[in-house]
């Protein structure tokens, strides 16, 4: 991080979003730093100018939808965060977080399918073991 960089907190709007995706839920579960990364903060401009607002989210609806789906499937924010950061053989050793950040529709569908494979009817404890197991 640059020494003279200005820290600007990410703000989550209270309302005004019409899509049925849990923006606020994802912000609370993933934390603003990880969610900003997942939504590609800083890709198209300086990171210091990036804000989590309806315009930004509109551009990243698909990314946010996948993030929310992972959270739903794993049911536990701690597990969802860990799983997103764990390298995956199906992503050539990249993390699901990297795949989400790319915004590539094919990679987003791979992430969603992989998360679905983890939670057919597993308990939270079984998912935790799967998330923390080495690939």
- pLDDT tens-place string over residues 56-79: 666 678 888 999 999 999 888 999
d(CA 24, CA 122): 26
Q: What confidence score (pLDDT) does residue 18 get?
A: 46
10 belongs to a structural domain: no
Q: What is the DSSP letter of 25?
A: H
63 belongs to a structural domain: yes
- For 31, residues 6+ apart whose C-beta sits below 8 A from its C-beta are 81
42 belongs to a structural domain: yes
76 belongs to a structural domain: yes
Report the range of poorest mean pLDDT among 1-15, 41-55, 86-100.
1-15
Question: What pLDDT band is residue 104 in, cutting at 50, 70 and 90?
Answer: very high
Q: What confidence score (pLDDT) does residue 10 get?
A: 40
105 belongs to a structural domain: yes
Q: What confidence score (pLDDT) does residue 78 get?
A: 92
Which is nearest to 60 in space by CA: 106, 17, 103?
103
With 0-12 / 13-18 / 19 or more C-beta atoms within 10 angstroms meaning exposed / middle / buried, residue 66 is: buried
128, 83 contact by CB (below 8 A)? no
93 belongs to a structural domain: yes
Which is nearest to 118 in space by CA: 67, 62, 70?
70
7 belongs to a structural domain: no
* Mean per-residue pLDDT, 12-25: 54
- pLDDT tens-place string over residues 28-45: 899 888 988 898 877 766
Which is nearest to 82 in space by CA: 117, 116, 129?
129
Higher pLDDT, 92 or 128: 92
Q: What confidence score (pLDDT) does residue 1 get?
A: 38
Total structural domains within the chain: 1
15 belongs to a structural domain: no
Q: Which domain holds residue 110?
A: 23-132
pLDDT at 117 over 50: yes
């Amino acid at each position: 991080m640059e020494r003279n960089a200005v820290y600007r907190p990410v703000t989550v709007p209270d309302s005004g979003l019409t899509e049925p995706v849990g923006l606020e839920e994802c912000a609370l579960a993933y934390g603003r730093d990880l969610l900003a990364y997942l939504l590609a903060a800083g890709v198209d401009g300086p990171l210091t100018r990036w804000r989590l607002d309806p315009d930004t989210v509109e551009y990243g609806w698909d990314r946010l939808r996948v993030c929310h789906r992972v959270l739903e499937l794993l049911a536990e924010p701690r597990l969802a965060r860990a799983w997103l950061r764990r390298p995956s053989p199906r992503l050539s050793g990249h993390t699901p977080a990297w795949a989400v950040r790319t915004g590539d529709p094919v990679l987003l569908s791979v992430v969603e399918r992989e998360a679905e494979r983890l939670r057919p009817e597993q308990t939270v404890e079984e998912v935790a073991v799967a998330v923390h197991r080495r690939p």
